Amino acid sequence: MQRKTFLKLTASLTTGLLLNAPAHAQTTTINVAAFADFAGPFANVMPQMQGGRLAVIEWWNKEVGSKLNVQIVVKTFDTRYDVAQTASLWPGIKAELKPALVLGLGGPDAAALQQRLPEDKVPMLLGTAAYGFGWKPNQWVLNLRPTYPHEAAGFLEWFRTTKLEGKRPVKVAIITSEATPAFADMAKGLQSYTKANPDKATFVEAIWTEVQPADLTLAVRRLVNKGTDVIVIQTNTAQAVATKRALQALGKNVPIMLSLHNGVVGSSKALGDPNGFAGDFEVGAIADASEDDTTARKFYSMLQEKHGLKSGWNAMTIMGLGQSIVAVRAIEATIKAKGVGKVTGEAVHETLLASQFTSNDLMGILPSVDFSNDAPFPTGTAKVNIATMKDGKVVRVAGDVTVPMVPKW
């Protein structure tokens, strides 16, 4: 008797499980690897970027993915912004996770995986601006923004046409460091632009100093004496602060152009004056961090309310948002083109190259994105947003400014 009951129970249990099983098996998971830096130079801004990334994935899973029976799963790895660490982590990630896409962090990830990804056939998306050494054809490491010199060129041309009324070329100087090739690259690219466009910009000088400069007063005075119109600082906050102190000591007011990772808010905080960088600019080919009620801001607020986004509205979060929105749109397009089961790295790469994502698709975070085979960043469609600081807040000055051509250097 007991044996029969036991058998009956087992039979009903198994049938029950079998009947239920197909329902679970229907949702496909797509794996995405994310690189983070929790102990290196970007550790302080990592939580915000990560917050942005994860919130977008959450949103897409709920809104779009659930309808397609697809869930994107993100696994984060700490690469410490170090080439050796990335190189040793990657084979394991590739074998175990089999990601369709990688959300990269910056220079070292690109350096470590530039040669491997074409063979491993997984594309990587970077939210930071590109560097000259990544400017090669047939890349699988794709930047959502053009190079730093491109962004600077966009700003310089805007500055020339508005502030100088197009009357003469802009005199531009750059303060950077040789501590890493990435920083040195910024100067070389800028020089390439000025050499190719002598009617639009003149290169005054490149000041090479330490990552934490001791004193820049005399160097900046040299720039001021030569009539510099704009000082470009795309490296870090320490150099921005040192330059600002130098300008204060000299009593001169030359506008500084910053990038997004060392933007006006961060630099003002490091200076100790919440309005310290008023009148200076931050430039990037991605949504700016102003309080204007743009599509991007609306998207951010929605994520904050409904999907647990805790990071503030600032450049790092926006970069995380930008990375993930392109990622999810690419995956979405691949699903539509090839089917749910065929979302491999190769397919996603193909989609990225073939499709054009409009700014609306990307919720206004980026201008329309169109990758081609000859550069790792969107060549034709890049536009920069220029913001400045007023009363301690980020205020947009110009949006969707075209980026001029910069010859490869």
Partner 1 sequence: MDPSGIFSTSYARDRALIRTRAQWVTLALFIVILLILPWFASERLVAVANLMLVTSIVVVGLQITTGYAGQINLGQAAFMGVGAYAASVVEVKAGLPFWVAVPVAGLVAALAGWLFGMTAKRIKGFYLALTTIAAQFIFHFVVLNLPSSWLGGVNGFSLEPARLGTFLFNTDRSLYYLFLVVTMVMVFGAFGILRSRHGRAFVAVRDDDVAAGMMGIDVAGAKSRAFVLGAFYAGIGGALWAYQVRYVSVDQFTLFNSIWFIAMMIVGGLGSIVGALIGTVLIRGVQEAITSLGPDLVERIPSLSSDLIFASMNVFLGLIIMLFLLFEPKGLMHRWNILKTNYRLWPFHH
Partner 2 sequence: MIIEFINYTINGALLGLLYSLVAMGFVVIYRASKVFNMAIGEMIVLGAFLLWWAIQSRGMHPALGIAVALGISVLIGLAIERLLFRRLIGESVFSMIMVTIGLLILMRGLVLVIWGPQERQFPAIFPLAPIILGEMIIPRSLAIGGLIAVLAAVALHWFFNRSRTGLAMSAVAEDHQIALAMGISVRRSIAFAWALGGVLSVISSMVYLSGKSLTFMSSEIGFAALPVALLAGLESIGGLLLAGIIVGVVQALTAAYIDPLIGGNAAAVVPYIFMLVVLVVRPTGMFGWKRIERV
CB atoms within 10 A of CB 380: 11
Residue 409 lies near partner 2 (rule: CB under 8 A) = no
Of the two residues 41 and 118, which places its CB atom closer to partner 2 in the complex? 41
CB 86, CB 35: distance < 8 Å: yes
Residue 132 lies near partner 1 (rule: CB under 8 A) = yes
**3-state DSSP call for residue 173?**
strand
CA-based torsion, 134, 139, 142, 143: positive or negative? positive
Residue 111 lies near partner 1 (rule: CB under 8 A) = yes
Residues in the chain: 409
* Closest separation in Å from C-beta 51 to partner 1: 12
Residue 137 lies near partner 1 (rule: CB under 8 A) = no
Binders of partner 1 in range 162-181 (CB under 8 A): 178, 180-181
Residue 185 lies near partner 1 (rule: CB under 8 A) = yes
* Closest separation in Å from C-beta 157 to partner 2: 23
CB atoms within 10 A of CB 14: 10
CB 369, CB 146: distance < 8 Å: no
* Closest separation in Å from C-beta 303 to partner 1: 21
* Closest separation in Å from C-beta 191 to partner 1: 11
Site pattern 194..223 for partner 2 (x: CB under 8 A): -----------xxxxxxxxxxx-xxx-xx-
CB 270, CB 238: distance < 8 Å: yes
Binders of partner 2 in range 225-284 (CB under 8 A): 236-238, 241-242, 245, 248-250, 266, 269-272
Host H or E run for residue 384: strand 383-390
Question: In terms of Cα–Cα distance, which of 330, 382, 365 is closest to 140?
Answer: 330
CA–CA separation, 71 vs 363, rounded Å? 20
Alpha helices in 38-137 (DSSP H): 46-60, 66-68, 83-92, 107-113, 117-120
Residue 142 lies near partner 1 (rule: CB under 8 A) = no
Footprint on this chain of partner 2 (rule: CB under 8 A):
39-44, 177-178, 187, 191, 205-215, 217-219, 221-222, 236-238, 241-242, 245, 248-250, 266, 269-272
Footprint on this chain of partner 1 (rule: CB under 8 A):
36, 38-39, 43-44, 46-47, 75-78, 80, 83-85, 87-96, 108, 111-112, 114-116, 119, 132-133, 136, 178, 180-182, 184-185, 188
